[in-house]
A and B are shown apart, each in its own frame.
Chain A
Amino acid sequence: MSLTPYYEVLAVFELLEVAIEEALKAGAQFAIARYDESRRTLIEFERDRVISVQQPSVSGIGIVAYVGGFKGYGFTPELTRDAVREAARKAVKMARLSATLAKQKLSVAEYKPEEYKGFVPPMRRDPAKVELSEKVSRVRDAIGDALARWKELVSLRVTYVDLRGKKLILTSDGIKREWEPYLVGLAAYAVVRVNGNIGSSHELFGASRGFELLDEVKMARPEELIDRAIRGAKDMAVARRLTPGRYALVCDPRFAGVIAHESFGHLTEADYVLNRISILHGRLGERIGSEHVTICDSGDPVNFGWFQPYDDDGCACKTAVLCERGVLKQFLTTRDTAPLLGVELTGNARAIDFAHPPVPRMRNTYFGAGDFSSREELFELIKRGVYVEGSLGGQVEPTGTFTFGANRAYWVENGEIKHPLKAVNVRAHILEFLRNVIGATRDVLVEGPVLGGCGKRGQSPLPVGLGGPYLAVREAIVGG
């Protein structure tokens, strides 16, 4: 089953046209029809044994219909005229039902089609065309090396992931888009025993690239990635406990990215702002962070992020500078939320698949560059404190207070790493955190998703990228 070939693309566009016509005929003033297809490969290894291979594929058509300022959604997996007509009528019917309950009337922004102008990451070897056996052997060879070299290994789990997709979008005001998502990624989780002590650590790297990622990018090479997980686990096996308290902090790009996405990015999503769920409601133009804080959300993958040239409304994805040198500048909007907020349209409408309606979602969310040349310069800046690498996840409270566990943590003193720390959690209020940022490095690393992604309004996991530079923070609550 190949991804939709050319002649089928034409046939699918015809179906989208049928859907739009039917929605307008049934009473919609505006409609968006979308064909959404994705194929994933997921290979899980336990040591060098393949324990699971999954290749789910999802495809179908969804229609958003707007009636009198309210919207409804209909969807079908059947690619026939009858099925899409029925889905279109359903969308209109559902819009009329939304109207009886909703208090907020939407209006759809005028939109003059623009083209995506950002970076198009290369894909030399299409993962859909690489044999399953090659994917297995490429990773298994690296695992074999690691098993031979590291006698301390108690357990090693490695997961290979790739994704290929197809999006065709048509709107009743004539926007027509066709583009293809792609992603390759790898994750490793190692448990080691060192002198009777157990330590564990995970490592992952994903990017919108072809299969060549695993050979051409050092951070993604299976050998390197598995090594990093094992070395990290060895550090954690000899980690010391930290007395909970307030400490200065240096975050690696991934930990910074998790904060940019989870603790800040969601607060800028137009639906949360409009419904006053976000504490940033009504605060555009206000200083919310130190001058070292710039946070962007973009469809441009920057370097190794997620490639998203167009959103699911068919709008070109623009780079939204959410916070510029500490000042709140923009929200993440869609065609039907930008006019209500009276702000610029950024192209952030996204759905996980055809069976779900697009809602305001992030793409690649990251802290912008600072002017320090290295991580070590930030270590000197904080003098003593905690350095955190990667995240194990956490939670954000409605007040804006967040808690995130670090994948690895180290004690830093006199400009250098002294020793690893056990199970560190970082807790702060997001605005206090942003005010306390005192420096960032010049190089920004943005990474794509591997396992999981973003979850919101019952739609999970949505692939997103995140990252940033290394970031120094004056203080945060750091606990064990």
Chain B
Amino acid sequence: MIVSLCLSEVICMSALLDIAKRAITRASELGADEIEVFVARQHRLTVVEVLSEDVLVSSGVSEAIAVRAVVGRSLGFAAATGPLTEDLALEVAKRAVRVARAKPEDPHFKHLPDPRRPLLEHGPVDDRILSLDDSELVSRVAESLRRAQSASPHLERVEGSVERLHTEFAIANSRGIERVDSGTWFEGWAMALVKRDSEMRQALWYFVSRRYEEEKLLALFGEAAKIAESCLGAKDLPPDVRTGDVILESLVVPWIFARVLGFNLNARNVQEGRSVWRDKLGEKIASEKLTLVDDGTHPEGPLSASVDGEGVPMQRKVVIDRGVLKTFLYDSYAAHREGKESTGNAVRDSPMSEPRVSFTNVIIEPGSGSLDDLVAEVERGILIRSQILGAHLVDPMKGVLAVTCPNAFLVVNGEIKHPLRPVIVSLNVFDALRSIKRVGGDSRWVWAWRTPSLVVSGAAFA
């Protein structure tokens, strides 16, 4: 249920914009040639943290002001948490000017972005998330915990967190950008640990939504418990299975690909000669089964909003079309350097961070079939579910990845034979992109990725 913003909210949000605008009118007295002010208020409406028998519920507000100031060809950034006042905005702006002065001039910097009309009026806001009664939420968490108990007779303990969140922000710059926006989120993660005799197995489950989706919450702890339970009775990898197909459950797909894709598609890295794909535009870099879209306007997208982190309209762009590289991702800095328009890919990791080039929502176009269907088609290989460890250690220019998979299963002749003790899977991410042989139809949101499960060939196991 996505609703439009109520009047009181619009008033409250315009107060945020006023703070930003008033600070901008004083840019020249601060010594800035251009200035951008980002103001955000984040309502962590309810955070339920579960640690086995222990539960801690929190609620509160954080506020932040972040300023980018331009002095000559130098861009300075500063940020502070609230209270949100014009005074604080001015203090932060002064710091941003000092930072700009301390940095060397950047000959490639042109100017802050100009205003453009957004495609989306505002990000998804769900009235149910805003109005949900805390005790109702807590009772659903309790039900979800009960489901975990019945899902696994060997459940030792669970850990996890469920949160409903509402963020409002305003962004304005001295070139005329003025925008307020708002959004809601509902998110949860769970870790379940099961124990049978001396064998301990652990699994992770996760969901994120822009709406209140009760079923996802009710399933949360049980799904983690089910996967952990299915990993009991693990055996060593048979010595004759050292290479083969890897079935990647949707939950682990972003961990394998996000860093390498994000780095090499970043136009700034292309311009600096760091991207492996710097001269590959229009060429095949992946299997024709892969179509990857970056879409900041997706109605369910965790990062969907009217504008990106520097006030440029969010857009939809096909990045990889049936294996062919179509575009890189631009913020205004990288776009101006090539005389282009930004693709709306300046993302702030948090209200306190400087915008950087990144994906917005990544959508891998689904194929067909469930995870079971993918398993049924694999002659010999392994299925990786739930979580992988060590993916962050990948060198994005080399793509060599060795991940520990605590929730892996041996697949022979289309059937799951048995769970495996933690397996180390080695693959090259660039090769894996080219060897995607099957794309499932079971798409789901894993943070800002909407991805189905995939089958990739040519990995090595140990």
Contact = CB atoms under 8 A, between A and B. Distances in A.
B62 A355 contact: yes
Nearest to A405: B393
Contacts of B44: 355
Given A60-B62, A74-B60, A398-B193, A136 B134 contact: no
A174 to B, nearest CB: 24
Given A53-B103, A77-B81, A98 B157 contact: no
Contacts of A75: 58, 60-62
Main DSSP-derived SS at the B contact region: strand
B79 interface: yes
A1 interface: yes
Contacts of B159: 277
B55 A74 contact: no
A94 B58 contact: yes
A231 to B, nearest CB: 22
B82 A78 contact: yes
17 contacts: A1-B91, A49-B104, A54-B99, A70-B55, A73-B56, A73-B59, A75-B58, A77-B82, A100-B139, A100-B142, A101-B145, A132-B102, A271-B54, A274-B53, A277-B51, A355-B44, A397-B406
Given A49-B104, A56-B79, A457 B58 contact: no
Contacts of A276: 52, 156-157
Contact of A100 (B62, B82, B138): B138
Contacts of A271: 51, 54
B410 interface: no
A104 to B, nearest CB: 4
A207 to B, nearest CB: 24
A275 B54 contact: yes
B80 interface: yes
A397 B389 CA distance: 11
Contacts, number: 155
Nearest to B137: A97
A328 to B, nearest CB: 21
Interface in B194-236: 200, 202
Contact of A79 (B55, B83, B138, B422): B83
Interface in A283-341: none
Interface of B: 44, 46, 48-63, 76-84, 91, 95, 98-99, 101-104, 134-135, 138-139, 141-142, 145, 156-157, 159, 161, 193, 200, 202, 352, 354, 389-390, 393, 404, 406, 422
Q: In the complex, which of the residues A53, A79, A277, A457 has the most CB atoms of chain B within 10 Å of its own CB atom?
A: A53
B190 to A, nearest CB: 13
A69 to B, nearest CB: 12
A357 B157 CA distance: 22
A458 interface: yes
A357 B56 contact: yes
Given A73-B60, A75-B60, A101 B76 contact: no
Contacts of A87: 60
Given A54-B77, A78-B63, A94-B58, 8 more contacts: A53-B77, A58-B81, A72-B58, A77-B84, A101-B138, A101-B142, A275-B157, A457-B49
A157 interface: no
B55 A275 contact: no
A76 interface: yes
B134 to A, nearest CB: 6
Contacts of B55: 70, 98, 101-102
A77 B62 contact: yes
Contacts of B59: 72-74, 90, 93-94
A72 B53 CA distance: 15
A275 B52 contact: yes
Given A75-B61, A78-B82, A100-B142, A395 B104 contact: no
